Amino acid sequence: MSVAHLNEVLLVSALVLLVAVAAVRMSSRSGLPSLLLYLGIGVAIGQDGIGVHFNDAQLTQVLGYAALVVILAEGGIGTKWNQVKPAVPAAAVLATAGVALSVGITAAAAHYLVGLEWRQALIIGAVVSSTDAAAVFSVLRKVPLPARLTGVLEAESGFNDAPVVILVVAFSAAGPVEHWYVLIGKIILELAIGAAVGIAVGKLGALALKQVALPASGLYPIAVMALAVLAYAGGAIAHGSGFLAVYLAAVVLGNAALPHRPATRGFAEGLAWLAQIGMFVLLGLLVNPRELGDDLIPALIIGAALTVVARPMSVVATMTPFRTPWREQVLLSWAGLRGAVPIVLATIPMVAQVTESRRVFNIVFVLVIVFTLLQGPTLPWLARRLSLGDPEGAADLGIESAPLERLSGHLLSVSIPPRSRMHGVEIGELRLPKGAAVTLVVREGKSFVPGPATVLMRGDELLVVATDPVRDATERRLRAVGSGGKLAGWLGEHDDHTHR
């Protein structure tokens, strides 16, 4: 590639990114997941639009996997462990047994109602059985859900990618499909290896980052993302689930009270947006709109079976033993949005040259588009109708930590959000551990040194100095007051909150 070609590529890429960023604004107003707009951009650039010809399924799969690693890492970093932890057993069952049930029902519908051969039917059933947290929460961000429901949705989306990838690869392999007990054994083994690698990398990485004061704050986000990618690569090389490894490593790192956490989250979020934009535009380029007309009806039939039968049955079968209320089961059933993962996984049979793999890709593409258009805008409405919104929940504090190596301490930057219950609390009522103190308050652009009777307000920014021994206890105490008010500790608040 010459410099002139590089200039053209950079020009087009920058324009596509700017259009995609503007599309996010449109999607937030319309309630539609932004993935639809990104796919539309890719289709518009493609051979039936501007005329860019692209049909490299293998390159799409490789770049799609790389993008999914970044997206899962960002999702793990942003996961609140205290919120997800109670939901892990239910989410794990939904992401395994629930996925198996969904695959079977959807494959049966594809075989008996559409007439696909069993191999293609099983591939479609596996491909579309993975939910997408980014798609779900992009339309639910204005409707805060109860912590237990959010936990199930987040954990399920992080867990179910791994078994689905294993199934799709198995169904796309040459030769007869392996016996079900062999598949179950492989899934259990790969999940166990992936979980072990992810947790190990996360814990060791967090321990190292806590002990090392890096010379620039911008290095911490890079180190965290590098550790997440390391977990994926290590898990995959060890013949485990790399996707589960990267998610669990990111969860551990995101809840480990590392320095410059908000900066790390912002960096990961930016990378995830870039990965989503690039992946969906590429997938839009890969599809040929002229071929989609013949697959519209099959996609609607399979999508209806998945949405109306398979997903609700898997939710009811797996959530009822956990005594999940029926209203939450209804929302979980309707919240099974499909996004990045199914379309990327649909490239696996194309690369493996499975018979009618192009048709499988087209059906999955149409299914994702149509049912995202149907489910996306109606999810917030359904949550309100089921009275599952939680608008009064206290917002979490934004706390950023910078190590003070020479003083053996930390400087905590605390932002009090609008819904925090720290509003109206006096400095003395924070009851910070000995060795920690609020040294400065910034309010409406002006800074001052507070006294014990200074009343904190929404929008304040605090600078708190804490020595190493009480650094974690100080942050736990600040979060406890932020969620429980001045009586945190007296009313059952145990100051043990972790955060996103």
Distance, CA of 208 to CA of 145 (rounded, Å) = 35
Distance, CA of 422 to CA of 361 (rounded, Å) = 51
Measured CA distances, 476 to 259, 409, 473, 483, 494 (Å): 15, 16, 5, 11, 9
Distance, CA of 91 to CA of 102 (rounded, Å) = 15
Burial tier of 448 (Cβ tally within 10 Å: 0-12, 13-18, 19+)? exposed
Token duo for residue 77: 């970093």
Query: Which amino acid belongs to residue 120?
Result: Q
**Low-confidence residues in the chain, pLDDT < 70:** 1, 24-34, 133-144, 177-178, 389-408, 489-500
- C-beta atoms surrounding 179 within 10 Å: 9
Measured CA distances, 143 to 68, 87, 383 (Å): 26, 19, 7
**For residues 231 and 197, is the Cβ–Cβ distance under 8 A?**
yes
Distance, CA of 187 to CA of 126 (rounded, Å) = 13
Using alpha carbons only, give the angle 379, 380, 381 rounded to the nearest 5 degrees. Answer: 90
Query: Maximum CA pair distance of the chain?
Result: 75
> Are 3-385 and 398-487 equal in CATH topology?
no
CATH number of 3-385: 1.20.1530.20
For tokens 């990398």, the residue is 201
Residue ranges of alpha helices (H) inside 255-325 are 261-286, 296-304, 311-319
> What pLDDT does residue 55 have?
80
In 3D space, the residue among 1, 133, 150 whose CA is nearest the CA of residue 73 turns out to be 133
**For residues 244 and 205, is the Cβ–Cβ distance under 8 A?**
no
The string over 299-327, giving b where at least 16 C-beta atoms fall within 10 Å of a residue's C-beta and e elsewhere, is: bebbbbbbbeebbbbbbbebbeeeebeee
Query: Which amino acid belongs to residue 54?
Result: F
Could you please state the CATH topology (level 3) that the domain comprising 398-487 is classified under. Alpha-Beta Plaits (3.30.70)
> What pLDDT does residue 140 have?
55
> What pLDDT does residue 494 have?
45
The DSSP bridge partners found for residue 487 are none
Residue 239: which residues within 8 A CB-CB, separation 6 or more? 189, 190, 193
Distance, CA of 185 to CA of 203 (rounded, Å) = 27
SS3 assignment, position 85: helix
| Sequence spans of domains, the chain | 3-385, 398-487
Task: Enter the DSSP assignment of 426.
Answer: B
> What pLDDT does residue 149 have?
83
Give residue 88's Cα distance to chain centre: 15
Burial tier of 2 (Cβ tally within 10 Å: 0-12, 13-18, 19+)? exposed
Measured CA distances, 383 to 91, 139, 145 (Å): 19, 11, 8
Give residue 131's Cα distance to chain centre: 10
The DSSP bridge partners found for residue 443 are 446
What global pTM score does this model have? 0.75
In 3D space, the residue among 117, 107, 114 whose CA is nearest the CA of residue 167 turns out to be 107
Measured CA distances, 277 to 22, 44, 45, 420 (Å): 12, 14, 14, 33
SS3 assignment, position 158: helix
Residue 10: which residues within 8 A CB-CB, separation 6 or more? none
